[in-house]
Structure 1
Amino acid sequence: MNTDYSHDAVARLGYAVVENVLNADDVAKLIDSFDDAPAHNAVRRKSAIYGVRNLLEINVAVREIACDERIRNLVAPMLGAGAFATRAILFDKVPGANWSLGWHQDSVISVREPSDVAGFRAWSQKAGVWQVQPPAEVLGGMLTVRIHLDDCGESNGPLRVLPGSHRFGWLDDEIEDWKARVQQIVCTVSRGGVVLMNPILLHASSPAEYPAHRRVVHIEYACAELPGGLEWNQRVAPSND
């Protein structure tokens, strides 16, 4: 596993694909762990479940993998040894929930309680957890680790990214320009592989052409404290467990 290459790629391009991070037993354990997810944490489309929120709170296997040395070895070169997981979500694509997302940047973090802090706006609650849009530099200083539990080829609704877009802050009014100027990259990944991504990289996902499971455990890592008394909703690291 070339962590130097991954670090360089995420810094320059905003993403890196790292294959063969987890083995078959690791993947099977994670898949089995989702069988009993609490209903109030499920994300549904037309009654079909396509995601589960708050995994760091409700899923021991996800907490363990967030602290696993193989994952930490990818995170630490970018965020430092003090990095911690702040949020984890399961995404899936199946025939009853074959969803898509247009070009966007991830724009919210999860915190314990709301507070009037300059630059933090658009407060909301999902599954009982407070979410807020922080200044771009907060999310831009984080790292998303997307762990693939199924093979994800070009026909299975893979992640698409616009390289380099993470270096320019919020791009709400410039997305069309980026789409026109920059060649998109399709991130195909094998089962057990990982995509590392800066959260404010422009990314999208199309519906799968042949819907089958495309399960991804999405874990967000941070390394800095929040201002104004705000606290991360979760901060999972090896020293915590």
Structure 2
Amino acid sequence: MNIDGLKFTLEEQGSAILDSVYTTLELQQIVACIKEASQNDDNLPKTKDLFAIRQLLNTIPQLKKFLFNQKLLSILSNIYSTPYFLTKAIYFDKPSTSNWFVPYHQDLSISVNQKTDSSDYTHWTYKRGQYGVQPPLSILENTTTVRIHLDDTNAHNGALRVIPTSHLKGVIRVDKREWNIQEEYICNVKKGGVMFMKPLTLHASNRTTNNKQRRVIHLEFCNQMLVSPLEWLEYQKI
């Protein structure tokens, strides 16, 4: 799949995969950067089932030069016709012994700098010292999720399962099962590959059953500013 084909597939299907976005050397640099930071910061959460670093680029700013290589920047510039920016960055390590799974859902919440009264922003949360809120649909429709895979990922170690075209239906009542499970697609991604996804795409992941690690860097980008005085919590120009 070329870059133009990726944009079309992402818009039509809600997700797309591109192999070999990162070289072996680039992956080694990314992994080494995260490893060094995790060893030197006792405040980073570590459990036997999950290791996650939220606000990743605020925590490890030196990662930015490795993540935003020329290939990724070219893809993002093709996806967006107007200036875009980073809105979220998380590192997930699903260990080989992990037995947790995530049921089907849409990513409806964004991270913001404060709580405010606005009828267009709903379902407020406050977790891990930061505010989350469901923004207007136009914000979610103009958001692109980028999942950088540091390991080979398939159905046996937590590859995402998606329902194609579900992002075209707006916010879906998950409890009503307003989708056909027969349409499910498993997003196998090779090490160094990237999965692109619209946050309104229904997605889920299973438990790990093959004793293999799954490390992913989850980035979100958008080209829409929020209603004042709200600001994106992790806003960064690229």
Per the normalisation by structure 1, the TM-score is 0.89
The match for 1:216 is 216
3-state SS, counterpart of residue 86 of structure 1: strand
Pairwise mapping of residues 179-218 of structure 1 onto structure 2 (< 5 A)? 179-180=180-181, 182-218=182-218
Structure 1 unmatched ranges of 5 or more: none
Percent identity for Structure 1 against Structure 2: 30
Displacement of 1:237 = 2.6
User: CA separation of 1:174/1:78 partners in 2, compared to 1, >3 Å: closer, same or farther?
Assistant: farther
8 A Cα contact 2:146 2:195, kept in partner = yes
The answer to whether residue 50 in structure 2 is matched with residue 49 in structure 1 is yes
The match for 2:116 is 115
Distance 2:192 2:176 in 1: 31
User: CA separation of 1:200/1:61 partners in 2, compared to 1, >3 Å: closer, same or farther?
Assistant: farther
Displacement of 1:179 = 3.1
Q: Number of aligned pairs?
A: 235
8 A Cα contact 2:98 2:208, kept in partner = no
Q: Residue type matched to 1:5 in 2?
A: G
8 A Cα contact 1:145 1:218, kept in partner = yes
1:182-219 deviations in Å (ceiling 9; x for gaps): 51111111110000000110000001111321000000
1:134-186 deviations in Å (ceiling 9; x for gaps): 12331121000000000112322211110000011110257613134x51111
3-state SS, counterpart of residue 64 of structure 2: helix
3-state SS, counterpart of residue 177 of structure 1: coil
User: CA separation of 1:156/1:95 partners in 2, compared to 1, >3 Å: closer, same or farther?
Assistant: closer
Distance 1:114 1:177 in 2: 31
Aligned alpha-carbon RMSD (Å): 2.0
3-state SS, counterpart of residue 7 of structure 1: helix
User: CA separation of 1:109/1:93 partners in 2, compared to 1, >3 Å: closer, same or farther?
Assistant: same
3-state SS, counterpart of residue 138 of structure 2: helix
Structure 2 unmatched ranges of 5 or more: none
Q: Residue type matched to 2:13 in 1?
A: L
Displacement of 1:128 = 2.3
8 A Cα contact 2:15 2:198, kept in partner = yes
